[in-house]
Amino acid sequence: MSLHTLDAGDAARAIREKVLSPVDLVEALLERIARIDGRVQAWALVDGVAARAAARRAADEAARGVFRGPLHGVPFGAKDIFYSAGLRTEGGSKVMAGFVPEYDATAVARLKAAGAILLGKLHTTEFATSDPAPTRNPWNLACTPGGSSSGSAAAVAARMIPLALGTQTIGSNVRPASYCGLVGLKPTFGRIGTRGVMALSYTQDHVGLMARSVEDAALGLSIVAGHDPDDPSSSRAPVRDNLAALTRRRAPRVGVLREFFERAVPEVADVTAQAVRRLARAGAAVEEAKLPPTFQVAHAAAYVITRSDTASIHAERFAQKADLYRPAIRSSIEMGMLIPGDLYVRALRIRSQFRRELQPLLNRYDVLLTPTTPAPAPEGMATGDPQFQIAWSLSGLPSITVPCGLTTSGLPLGIQLVSRNYTEASLLSAAAWCEDILGRASAPEL
């Protein structure tokens, strides 16, 4: 097996068993990047010098039986809105050109402390909004990988990295993961600290993970989750053992949300329905479920909140450098500036009501299920339709996408699972069970 195809968990086990050197793994991934990233364009910056030095340190520690954590010696990538000490962090924007932070974002710091090796920074849409990154979808270079975590999805799918950090405010982690045939996890709001992540909305920004297996997503979450005293939005809720939950997987109770199937193109609805039938035949208790009435206005509330927050966050910088902003984020900021306070408060009240009305539905099932996206990855630079993620970003509920098949044109599709707040362990267990039944996506041909 080529080293670049190793998943994070398999690589970590091989390093711990001393049959794989972190040095060899880093070199294999750097060679892979040099060979194919000219076409995929996932990386904003590759820090080969620091990665090689970190790999040598990890190899020396492993030889002495010292393992700093469960990802000791395993490389990862970070979306270019995550601060990384000493590395340019530009958020896909000319506004931040040349910015070098002095500290690591919390998620980056925790992965490094667990022995993981930061290989570099991955392309994002400008400030994680809609102005596209240059990144292409490895499954079809004419298609978008999705956004805003474009480089994170493309790099993991193209076997340039086994694990990547992304973010989601509307649909920016789960959607690109699905477009690229990956597992993409958005935990409960506040589960992973956002300190050191360029903000888009303080009340809706989530740190997420992308990997090629549910196990790897659980492994990454086990490291980065938990309260961060330096982040006011960070939750103090206890973190369960996500990896142990995978060993107790069982057929889940599934509430299928037909509203989403009706909004999907026929091929997506058909492939997802076939996946649901396979899960039912394997033992899942499948029922049709219906969202509460506030779902009809959830999308509008999400955009009011996000645009207002974005305008507030960028106000000072925008006043000084408006001409450097690209069209989509400039429009969002300008629209946000026009939203009156009473409308913003009304949107917050809708969000609270939507969260309350969801609870009986969430208590009835282990997971709710939808197609992950209304259509496969579109051609061109537009980053795709986030509408199937909006409700879960607005409510802050944990969600995950798992591959469920391919279109006739060979593009990957996924199912999206959603569960109650702070139930990532049981969500991952259900996702792993579904992964066992549906299988994992193959690698794109590059």
Question: Which of the residues are catalytic?
Answer: 79, 148, 172
* Nearest alpha-carbon partner for 81 in 259, 252, 200, 258: 200
Interhelix angle 8-16/48-63, nearest 10 degrees: 40
DSSP string, 302-355: HHHHHHHHHHHHHHHHHHHHGGGS-HHHHHHHHHHHH--HHHHHHHHHHHHHHH
Query: How far is residue 135 from each of residues 43, 153, 260, 373, measured CA to CA in Å?
Result: 8, 10, 28, 19
* Nearest alpha-carbon partner for 417 in 399, 405, 432: 399
Structure-token match 């390093």, residue found: 15
CA–CA separation, 25 and 73 (whole Å):
8
Query: How far is residue 146 from each of residues 174, 215, 301, 417, measured CA to CA in Å?
Result: 9, 23, 23, 19
The two tokens of residue 19 are 């049959």
CA–CA separation, 72 and 28 (whole Å):
17
